[in-house]
């Protein structure tokens, strides 16, 4: 079945305009959290400008021993790396909450901003899902880039499945996503490709953050509609 991408995008824009609570408000909170985590991550694991300048000087002078010594001293500690990992995992969990908020908005099932934190209620399964998906995509990527991209789209609906089916394990959600995306991976890829200009705008300083507040719910609503369409065209029993 060919999904009408233009109709999906139109419905997404209309939903953003009429959503209560506002999807843009939820996206703003989600974006601000992402900026906070990025800042904390940089403070934990980043290299300050003075050290970076010294690294460049030593590299240009060919002083390999001094350069290696400086870099080893600049590496984050185990505790800092662990905190950085925990912050990133927490952001992924909030991302699942944003998916839930988007689905509730699309389905008109009383969304609340508190949905952003609901991902913590399924955190153990969600973290296992994140790890398993990362491993699977990485293993496929070892073959070639294209198999890795295909794998990423194969498992792209796993979080949606987990939200709708709390009785499923992480592995069940990945298998169900693989089944649901069979025959639809190219359409999901073309959907992402149609947002490439938005993605480039998001890379600009300052203005990119404002663009991100719009693009995040816009793209997420489109993906949620794809999920709904796919589910309606396939039996959703695992």
Inside any domain, residue 49: no
Tally of domains within the chain:
1
Give the separation between CA 93 and CA 87, rounded to whole angstroms. 10
Inside any domain, residue 142: yes
Of the given ranges (19-28, 84-93, 190-199, 217-226), which has the lowest mean pLDDT?
A: 84-93
Give the separation between CA 192 and CA 219, rounded to whole angstroms. 8
Inside any domain, residue 54: no
Inside any domain, residue 65: no
| 135-191 residue pLDDT tens | 999 999 998 888 999 999 999 999 999 999 999 999 999 999 999 999 999 999 999
> In terms of Cα–Cα distance, which of 221, 181, 227, 218 is closest to 197?
218
Inside any domain, residue 73: no
Sign of CA dihedral 84, 117, 201, 5: positive
Q: 234 Cβ partners below 8 Å, 6+ apart?
A: 179, 180
User: pTM for the full model?
Assistant: 0.82
Plot region of 108 (φ>0 → left; ψ -120 to 50 → alpha; else → beta):
left
Q: Residue 125's pLDDT is what?
A: 92
State the number of CA atoms in the 13 A half-sphere of 206 facing the CB.
0
Domain extent at residue 132 = 5-44+78-233
| 19-32 residue pLDDT tens | 999 999 999 999 99
The percentage of residues in the chain with a pLDDT greater than 90, rounded to a whole number, is: 58
Note whether 202 and 11 are within 8 A (CB): no
């Amino acid at each position: 079945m060919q999904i009408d991408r233009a109709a999906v995008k139109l419905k997404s824009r209309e939903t953003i305009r009429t959503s209560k609570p506002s999807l843009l408000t939820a996206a703003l909170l989600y974006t601000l959290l992402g900026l906070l985590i990025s800042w904390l991550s940089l403070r934990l694991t980043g290299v300050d400008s003075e050290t970076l300048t010294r690294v460049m000087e030593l590299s240009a002078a060919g002083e390999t021993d001094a350069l290696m010594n400086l870099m080893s001293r600049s590496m984050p500690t185990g505790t800092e790396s662990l905190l950085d990992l925990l912050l990133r995992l927490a952001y992924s969990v909030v991302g699942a909450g944003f998916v839930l908020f988007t689905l509730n908005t699309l389905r008109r099932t009383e969304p609340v901003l508190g949905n952003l934190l609901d991902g913590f209620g399924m955190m153990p399964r969600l973290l296992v899902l994140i790890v398993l998906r990362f491993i699977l995509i990485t293993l496929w990527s070892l073959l070639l880039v294209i198999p890795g991209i295909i794998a990423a789209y194969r498992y792209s609906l796993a979080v949606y499945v987990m939200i709708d089916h709390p009785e499923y394990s992480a592995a069940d959600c990945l298998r169900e996503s693989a089944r649901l995306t069979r025959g639809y991976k190219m359409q999901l890829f073309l959907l992402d490709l149609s947002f490439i200009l938005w993605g480039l705008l998001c890379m600009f300083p300052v203005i990119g953050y404002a663009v991100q507040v719009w693009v995040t719910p816009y793209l997420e609503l489109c993906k949620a509609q794809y999920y709904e369409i796919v589910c309606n065209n396939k039996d959703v029993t695992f």
